[in-house]
């Protein structure tokens, strides 16, 4: 009986030691991953927008190029937003833009929406977007990231999940 208890205690100690060692490695791996973190979907699209809008001033063409980015593993719709149209994702009505294009998923429950606005006062307009953005505009989901970029008179606004990978 004493030998059985001794074997049980040794086994428990070895098992506990393995768990503690394993947990320590997981945390270190997570820290290394955080230090070498890849760009989010929003950051990737902001970078692409900044490059594309310098070459092409037709915001619908730029939006179509953005919608083809490989980080977007969903089906998207690119549409023109007319003055007076509802601009989803905000707590208040968004207006005062000259023209706009929206990039949105065909399936409405995915927390992704992006806009390219052409405006007269991009700094003030982007401030208004940021103050009124609602990351939880979709009823059952919430975006992880929001990014805004200004190039000349163009404002790119995006709310999206960090990535589209399935866990």
**DSSP character string of 95-135:** ---SEEEEEEESSTTS--EEEEEE-S-HHHHHHHHHHHB-T
Confidence of residue 9 (pLDDT cuts 50, 70, 90): low
Mean pLDDT within 91-106: 92
The per-residue pLDDT for 80 is 94
Strand order in the sheet with 113-118: 76-81, 99-105, 113-118, 154-160, 145-151
What is the Cα–Cα distance from 131 to 152, expressed in whole angstroms?
21
The per-residue pLDDT for 18 is 47
Q: Where are the domains of the chain?
A: 1-37, 41-160
Take residue 31 and report the two structure tokens written for it.
């820290």
| 55 has pLDDT over 70 | yes
What is the Cα–Cα distance from 158 to 83, expressed in whole angstroms?
19
H/E segment holding residue 160: strand 154-160
Express each pLDDT in 127-143 by its tens digit: 999 999 998 887 778 88
DSSP 8-state assignment for residue 167 = -
Helical residues (DSSP H) of the chain, grouped into ranges: 2-35, 41-55, 59-67, 122-132
Express each pLDDT in 15-48 by its tens digit: 555 444 444 444 444 344 444 467 899 999 999 9
Q: What is the dihedral of CA 120, 124, 127, 132, to 10 degrees?
A: -80
**Most confident segment among 12-16, 61-65, 84-88, 105-109:** 61-65
What is the Cα–Cα distance from 52 to 160, expressed in whole angstroms?
20
Mean pLDDT within 113-125: 95
**Given the DSSP bridges, would you call strands 113-118 and 145-151 parallel, antiparallel or unpaired?**
unpaired
Residue 61 CB-density burial (10 A; 0-12 exposed, 13-18 middle, 19+ buried) = middle
Nearest one of 38, 40, 37, 36 to 112, comparing CA atoms: 40
- pTM as predicted: 0.75
């Amino acid at each position: 009986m004493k030998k059985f208890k001794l074997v049980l205690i040794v086994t428990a100690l070895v098992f506990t030691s393995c768990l503690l060692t394993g947990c320590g490695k997981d945390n270190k791996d997570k820290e290394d991953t955080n230090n070498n973190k890849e760009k989010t979907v929003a950051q990737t699209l902001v970078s692409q927008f900044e490059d594309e809008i310098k070459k092409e001033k037709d915001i619908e063409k730029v939006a179509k190029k953005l919608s083809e980015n490989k980080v977007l593993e969903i089906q998207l719709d690119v549409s023109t937003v007319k003055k007076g149209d509802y601009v989803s994702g905000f707590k208040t009505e968004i207006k005062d833009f000259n023209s706009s294009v929206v990039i949105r998923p065909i399936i409405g429950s995915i927390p992704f929406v992006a806009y390219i606005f052409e405006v007269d006062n991009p700094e003030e307009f982007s401030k208004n977007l940021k103050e009124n953005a609602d990351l939880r505009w979709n009823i059952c989901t919430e975006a992880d990231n929001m990014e805004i970029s200004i190039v000349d008179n163009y404002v790119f606004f995006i709310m999206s999940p960090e990535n589209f990978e399935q866990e």
